[in-house]
Structures are given as C-alpha cells and as structure tokens.
Amino acid sequence: MNLHEAAPLESQAPSQLLEWLAEQFPGQPFTPDSRLAHDLGVDSMDWLHLVLEIRQRWGVGLDGAAISRIDTARDLLREVAARPSFSKAELALATPLEQPEQFLGEEHRQWLAPLGKAELVAGWCLYASN
C-alpha cells in the first residue's frame, strides 16, 4: 500500500486511518482506490463496525448521507477529513446506543415515540393472526 497515494489529505489522521483500514482487511489487496463493497466485501455489519470505530478512534461521526457517498477508501478519507471531530467530552457524553435521538434526523426520531393504544391493539392483532 502506498500511503502517499492518499494525497491531497494533509494531516496525520488520514494516513493513520488508511493504515487502520488496511489492517481491517488482511490478505486482501488494498489501496486508497479499493472499493469498499466490491473489492473488500464490506457489508452492512462491516459498515457499522467501521463507522463506530472511526467515531471512537478519530472522533468523527458519519451519517447515512456521508456513507452513501463513499465508494472507495479514498472517499472515506475525504468524508472523515471534511467532518468536524467531536471533542473528548462530547464523545464521553453521547453514544448512539445510549442517546440515539442525538444521532438521528427528525424523520427517524418519529420511530422512537411510544405507540398509541390503537397502534398497540392493531400490532397485537396482527401478531396474533400471524
């Protein structure tokens, strides 16, 4: 792997991220232009691992829109470099599993609301009929 191919990214973090990515896929040819899904076989569970690990190690959160723009390792580096990193205090305070409402957009928060009585009854009826 040639880390200089990662230019124009300028800080240490991208090269560390690139090295870390290469470690995640041992035995597979890896370059900054490796396509994550096609060349490396990244699936949805791998994306979850990658996003959580990037958040923990580099303090950068990637949302669904950012992930949809990522095809290659170089794209991932650009997305990480373009996003502000969380402070240590922010990382310690909130995690997606403990406070999901901070990490979800308004259109997704509706699914966190408790069901009403009519929805509960309909749900139980459908469950029973299934």
Closest C-alpha among 45, 32, 24, 31 to residue 77: 32
Do residues 50 and 61 touch, judged by C-beta distance below 8 A?
no
Question: Could you tell me if 56 and 120 lie in one domain?
Answer: no
Question: Could you tell me if 24 and 59 lie in one domain?
Answer: yes
Do residues 73 and 19 touch, judged by C-beta distance below 8 A?
no
Do residues 119 and 52 touch, judged by C-beta distance below 8 A?
no
Query: Which structural domain range is residue 119 located in?
Result: 103-130
pLDDT digits (tens, 9 = 90+) for 6-36: 434 445 567 788 888 889 888 888 888 999 9
pLDDT digits (tens, 9 = 90+) for 54-66: 888 888 888 888 8
pLDDT digits (tens, 9 = 90+) for 117-129: 999 999 999 999 9
pTM of the full structure? 0.57
Q: Judge whether 15 lies within some domain.
A: yes
Question: Could you tell me if 29 and 87 lie in one domain?
Answer: yes
Rounded-to-integer distance, Cα 15 and Cα 9, Å: 9
Q: Average pLDDT in the 107-120 region? A: 84
Q: Judge whether 56 lies within some domain.
A: yes
pLDDT digits (tens, 9 = 90+) for 42-100: 888 888 888 888 888 888 888 888 888 999 999 998 888 887 765 555 545 556 666 66
CATH number of domain containing 60: 1.10.1200.10
The whole-number pLDDT of residue 6 equals 40
Question: Could you tell me if 125 and 71 lie in one domain?
Answer: no
Q: Judge whether 98 lies within some domain.
A: no
The whole-number pLDDT of residue 62 equals 85
Q: Which residue stretches of the chain are H helix?
A: 12-24, 44-58, 64-68, 73-82, 88-93, 106-109, 117-129
Q: Judge whether 50 lies within some domain.
A: yes
Number of domains within the chain: 2
Closest C-alpha among 101, 51, 47, 114 to residue 80: 51
Question: Could you tell me if 21 and 77 lie in one domain?
Answer: yes
